Amino acid sequence: MPDPPALKRRSPCGKDGRAWILRCDGLGRAGATGIQKHLKAIEIVDAAIESIERLNPTLNAVVTPVYEQARKLGNGKMPDGPFTGVPFLLKDLGAPYAGVPMTTGSATMREFVPDHDSQLVARLKRAGLIILGKTNTPEFGILPTTEPKIFGSCHNPLDVDRTTGSSSGGSAAAVAARLVPMAHANDGGGSIRIPASRCGLFGLKPTRGRNPLGPDFGDPVTIKKGEVPVFWACGVTPQAVLMKAKPDLCITHTPGHMFISDLLNEELATL
């Protein structure tokens, strides 16, 4: 399949042997650093960062880069997971990552920096994924287009004059442009499904309760956590591997309030 027509891009990797990795899905990139030992994790991370730095000014998909942390992980000892060394992006909503701002697309949350990883983020890291940054989302994930005032509009790599949909528009744009092979998203009313359809991707909305929201919540207001994998050639395989590779990745209960009403009742009881 040709590159997205709006980008008309060349590989940032030149002739040093890394160009092919940008066309691999998550399993292909994992194989490059794991079983097949073709490349080091840091080489794949650097290739992804090069792509983001060159294409993101057009797409505005990545709003909070964390390259220093990513390179440190890529140069260090990696966990033995199904996606060891694979670059990944988190949606800037509903996925606390310790030490990294989480604005939820709103200027009112600009200074909020979580002091802990969510259970989902911890599990993604245990799977071997290397987080490169946070992706664009509308304010509090509410609107049908990814155009927050704080960061500006996210553009569809298939046609930059068209919308990516919402609310996981930044993640979808990043995957469709092959900046990363898969990225985090969540879905309460179409926020995985709409951007996936707009950007020509496979996106899976997991069953309620499948992926955790702990330690802050259990399952507030039916919001679900999931991934927006994967560009053109990959199909459903990486999502299936991520959800089934290890029993503790996505299917076990974590501490937290199953419903937001439980949390509110506890707060009211202290008044």
Question: Mean pLDDT over residues 21-36, rounded?
Answer: 54
pLDDT tens digits, residue range 209-266? 667 777 886 655 444 444 444 333 333 445 555 555 444 444 444 555 555 555 556 6
What percentage of the chain carries pLDDT values higher than 70? 64
What pLDDT sits at residue 13?
Answer: 36
Flag whether pLDDT at 170 surpasses 70.
yes
Instruction: Give me the active site residues, please.
Output: 91, 167, 191
pLDDT tens digits, residue range 33-77? 544 456 789 999 999 999 999 999 999 999 999 999 999 999 999
What pLDDT sits at residue 221?
Answer: 45
- Residues 89, 109: Cα–Cα separation, whole Å: 20
Question: Mean pLDDT over residues 94-114, rounded?
Answer: 96
Flag whether pLDDT at 131 surpasses 90.
yes
- Residues 254, 87: Cα–Cα separation, whole Å: 26
Residue 127 pLDDT level (bands cut at 50, 70, 90): confident
Buried b vs exposed e over 204-220: b needs ≥16 C-beta within 10 Å? Answer: bbbeeeebbbbebbbbb
Flag whether pLDDT at 207 surpasses 90.
no
What pLDDT sits at residue 219?
Answer: 58
Residue 28 pLDDT level (bands cut at 50, 70, 90): low
What pLDDT sits at residue 259?
Answer: 52
The CATH fold assigned to 19-269 is Amidase signature (AS) enzymes (3.90.1300)
